[in-house]
Amino acid sequence: MAGMSRRTFLSRATASIVGGIGALMGIPTVAYLISPAKARGGLGVEAIPLGPTNKVPIGEPTLFKATIERKTGWVTQAEELAFYVFTEDGRNFTALSNVCTHLGCRVRWVGNEKQFFCPCHNAVFTETGKVVSGPPPRALDQYELSVEGDQLFVVGKVEA
């Protein structure tokens, strides 16, 4: 400081203070602006409650619907999801999407034929979701379930 004039010292001190204030305000602002881009994917929620296990008869897929809020960037939308839940023993449950893997039409269970049917292009799936006939390129999406007490929860998608 011996060779520094008063003017130089005040200029540098002012620049340092303004830079510090700018950094203190700028870093949280940048984090706020980029946080939606870093949001995690997947289902977008931890677990989706479906309903009680006693609503699933043995050997008969049952349709469950759930509404979740999906956040994309700054937009939050309510989305209705539907799953067919199936059990052969009343303890182990399987969940299948009700969306056809061809063009996204909704499939329905035809009980007397023991198959899922997609009316858009006459696609047929087995009770485990495998393609029997039609244009779908792959089986119905399968989801991992957890049972807590007597309640079913979808916890994630099973990767093929």
1 domain-assigned = no
- Each residue's pLDDT tens digit, 83-140: 998 888 877 888 888 888 888 889 988 888 888 999 888 889 988 888 988 888 888 8
Q: Per the structure, how many domains does the chain have?
A: 2
Instruction: Output the domain CATH number for residue 130.
Output: 2.102.10.10
> Are 55 and 33 in a shared domain?
no
**Rounded mean pLDDT of the chain?**
83
pLDDT above 70 (res 31):
yes
43 domain-assigned = no
CB 86 within 8 A of CB 93: yes
The pLDDT of residue 14 is: 94
Q: Place 37 in a pLDDT band, splitting at 50, 70 and 90.
A: low
The pLDDT of residue 15 is: 93
DSSP per-residue codes, the chain:
-TT--HHHHHHHHHHHHHHHHHHHHHHHHHHHHHGGGG---TTSSS-EEEEEGGGS-TTS-EEEEEEEEEEETTEEEEEEEEEEEEESSSS-EEEEESB-TTT-PBPEEETTTTEEEETTTTEEE-TTS-EEESS-SSPPPEEEEEEETTEEEEEEEPP-
Least Cα distance to 49 among 112, 95, 99 occurs for: 95
> Are 34 and 112 in a shared domain?
no
> Are 150 and 73 in a shared domain?
yes
pTM exceeds 0.85: no
